[in-house]
């Protein structure tokens, strides 16, 4: 490695220490790659491409020293919350469908068991009752 590359790596490590200590000098102090690059005085893409190992080291230190879960864990937690909401909605829709089915079954049973009286007799001759009347 050449001297410029080594110099960048030293500046990045020093910037990591300052950010994690809460003593930024050239950035807003957030624990992000953008702030790390600004703090180290290197281009963000240089940090992403040439010094990817230092970027990963920075995130590992952030997680370890601030006791924060990893970005992957955050995404998974958000997905779990979203899936739980979807499951809750699905269960509510299923319960509503079951309720409607029960209501329709009860209505059908009531219609089948209903005994027609003189007021319920069909007017037209083309309607056949489901059960013959027991007159």
Q: Mind listing the pLDDT tens digit for each residue in 63-89? A: 888 777 767 778 899 999 999 999 999
Whether pTM > 0.95 for this model: the answer is no
What is the band of 118 on the pLDDT scale with cuts at 50, 70, 90?
A: very low
| The token pair that represents 30 in the structure block | 């957030």
Q: Residue 125 — φ and ψ, nearest 5°? A: -85, -5
Q: Residue 133 — φ and ψ, nearest 5°? A: -70, 145
Range 23-39 average pLDDT = 89
> Distance between CA 18 and CA 12 in Å, rounded?
10
Q: N- to C-terminal Cα distance for the chain? A: 106
Name the one residue in this structure whose structure tokens are 């919350």.
81
């Amino acid at each position: 490695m050449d001297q410029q590359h080594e110099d960048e790596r030293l500046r990045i490590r020093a910037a990591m220490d300052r950010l994690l200590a809460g003593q930024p000098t050239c950035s807003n102090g957030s624990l992000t790659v953008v702030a790390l690059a600004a703090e180290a005085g290197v281009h963000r893409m240089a940090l992403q491409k040439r010094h990817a190992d230092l970027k990963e080291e920075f995130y590992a230190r952030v997680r370890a020293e601030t006791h924060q879960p990893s970005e992957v864990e955050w995404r998974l937690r958000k997905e779990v919350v979203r899936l739980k909401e979807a499951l809750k909605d699905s269960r509510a829709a299923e319960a509503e469908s079951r309720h409607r089915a029960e209501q329709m079954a009860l209505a059908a049973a009531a219609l089948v068991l209903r005994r027609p009286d003189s007021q319920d007799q069909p007017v037209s001759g083309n309607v056949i009752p489901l059960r013959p009347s027991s007159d």
